[in-house]
Amino acid sequence: MNATTKYSLVIPFMNEEEVLPLLMDRLDGFMADLDGAAEVVFIDDGSRDNSAALVAERARQDGRFKIIRLSRNFGHQIAVTAGLNEASGDAVIIMDADLQDPPEVAHDLIAKWQEGYEIVHAQRRRRDGETMFKKMSANLYYRMLAKLSSVDIPRDVGDFRLVDARVVRAIRAMPERDRFLRGMFAWVGFRQCLVQFDRPERQAGETKYPLKKMLRLAMDGVISFSDAPLRMALWLGALVSLGAMLYGAYIFSLALFTDRLVDGWASTIVILSFLSGMNLLISGVIGLFVGRIYTEAKQRPLYFVSESIGLTDVVRLPDQRPETRHVFRTPYQAHG
């Protein structure tokens, strides 16, 4: 870690040109109140608007601001990982760019870090501006994940947190491709605590996390930190098999002791359809886990970087000309 930088802020963004000027002004005020040097590492996750240009202009004017532009949209969790790989502070604060993670709350996170905690989660006490469906579904999901997961993942906690440099090095050593950072930070251990805050409405622009992406992230959390789906598939298969055996015994008794058995194909079709559906369901669950294994076995880099400003030690691809800044990192290649 760079001894001259005490705090690093890691902020991924995509198509946030409306809110970024407000965010950078708030960050100026926040860093002015810190007790040490700070840097802000922005990660452009494939923006198609003027967002990257706004941050790049600030980075050229103020050396505390840095930007990494990914070669395409790799997803929020990968973008955060890219920022963690480049952060040089003794403490790293992860937050979103939409100002729903207020920079001022980070002062409370820092206070807990100075008490000796190595991971400080920002827990949402209230969520303004969100629909009742999103609040209820999020609450249900976190409760379900707490029951299924093999680690204790805090409820109502997103990616807004402070982590010590030791934790950052631990996360860099975890090479999985389908990343669920909330679970990964819980899994590594260390001293952890919660700081509650009221999450405000988005200041400008629209959310970049629609229902489809939220469902994908939720699935990543369940599959990455629980084998419950596999165990459920096993028990469901056993239950269906038991039901089939009992139904077979019932049919046998009807044929043996009564004359009420009606010849026909309806019951056969229903049973076969039911068993086939169960077979497809169980195969699908197993397929999800096999697909994750296949993704890990390919060992592709987590991301590619097309440009960076303010970062001088990024790994270059060997076939790139000096004036280009196309680089890549995996957790094993992170500096520090």
For the chain, the average pLDDT equals 75
Together in a domain, 259 and 326: no
pLDDT beyond 50 at 81: yes
**Measured distance CA(160)–CA(194) in Å, rounded:** 11
pLDDT at 27 over 50: yes
Residue 205 amino acid letter? G
**Type of residue at 52:** A
Question: In this model, does residue 1 exceed pLDDT 50?
Answer: no
CB 170 within 8 A of CB 188: yes
Lowest mean pLDDT among 168-177, 214-223, 251-260: 214-223
pLDDT tens readout for residues 176-200: 777 878 888 888 888 999 999 888 8
Angstrom distance (rounded) from CA 314 to CA 66: 12
177 token code pair: 């491709």
Residue 280 and residue 259 share a domain:
yes
Question: Do 205 and 97 have their domain in common?
Answer: yes
- Round to whole Å and give the CA distance between 9 and 11: 6
Ordered alpha helix ranges (H), the chain: 20-32, 51-61, 76-86, 106-114, 132-148, 165-172, 181-187, 211-224, 228-257, 266-298
Is 153 found in the same domain as 121?
yes
- Give the pLDDT mean for 219-230: 59
Whether residues 219 and 234 fall in one domain = no
CA distances from 287 to 191, 272, 293 (A): 36, 22, 10
Whether 1 is covered by a domain: the verdict is no
Q: Percentage of the chain surpassing pLDDT 90? A: 21
pLDDT, residue 138, reads 62
pLDDT digits (tens, 9 = 90+) for 260-274: 656 654 466 566 756
User: Does 2 map to a domain?
Assistant: no
Which run of H or of E encompasses 306?
Answer: strand 303-309
The pLDDT, as a whole number, for residue 199 is 83
CATH of the domain at 101: 3.90.550.10
Number of domains in the chain: 2
Can you tell me the distance from the alpha carbon of 197 to that of 99, in angstroms, rounded to the nearest whole number?
13
Please check whether residue 132 lies inside any domain of the structure: yes
What lies within 8 Å, CB to CB, of 272 at 6+ separation is none
Let me know whether 220 and 253 are in one domain.
no
- Name which of 55-64, 113-122, 136-145 the model is least confident about: 136-145
**Residue 85 above 70 pLDDT?**
yes
Task: Look at the alpha carbons of 84, 158, 179, 115 in this order and tell me if their dihedral is positive or negative.
Answer: positive
CB 234 within 8 A of CB 303: no
Q: Specify the amino acid at residue 115.
A: E
Task: Categorize the per-residue pLDDT at 304 as very low, low, confident or very high, splitting at 50, 70 and 90.
Answer: confident
Parent domain of 245: 228-298
Asked whether the predicted pLDDT for residue 323 surpasses 50, the reply is: no
Residue 207 has pLDDT above 50, yes or no: yes
User: Is residue 242 in a domain?
Assistant: yes
240 and 184 share a domain? Answer: no
Angle at 333 between CA 97 and CA 289, to 5 degrees: 75
Higher pLDDT, 231 or 154: 154
- Output Rg (C-alpha) for the chain, integer angstroms: 25
Structure-model confidence comparison of residues 86 and 261, the more confident one = 86
Arithmetic mean of pLDDT, 46-67:
90
Stretch 64-86: mean pLDDT, rounded? 89
pTM beyond cutoff 0.85: no
pLDDT at residue 318 in the model:
41
Q: Is the pLDDT of residue 141 over 70?
A: no
Q: How far apart are CA 71 and CA 52, in angstroms?
A: 12
pLDDT digits 0-9 by tens, 14-25 = 888 888 999 999
Residue 184 makes CB contacts below 8 A (sequence gap 6+) with 171, 174
> CA 45, CA 78: separation in Å to the nearest integer?
9
Residues 138 and 127 in one domain: yes
Q: Quick check: is 205 in a domain?
A: yes
* 276-290: average pLDDT: 69
Q: Is there a single domain that holds both residue 198 and residue 67?
A: yes
Please tell me whether residues 103 and 190 are part of one structural domain. yes
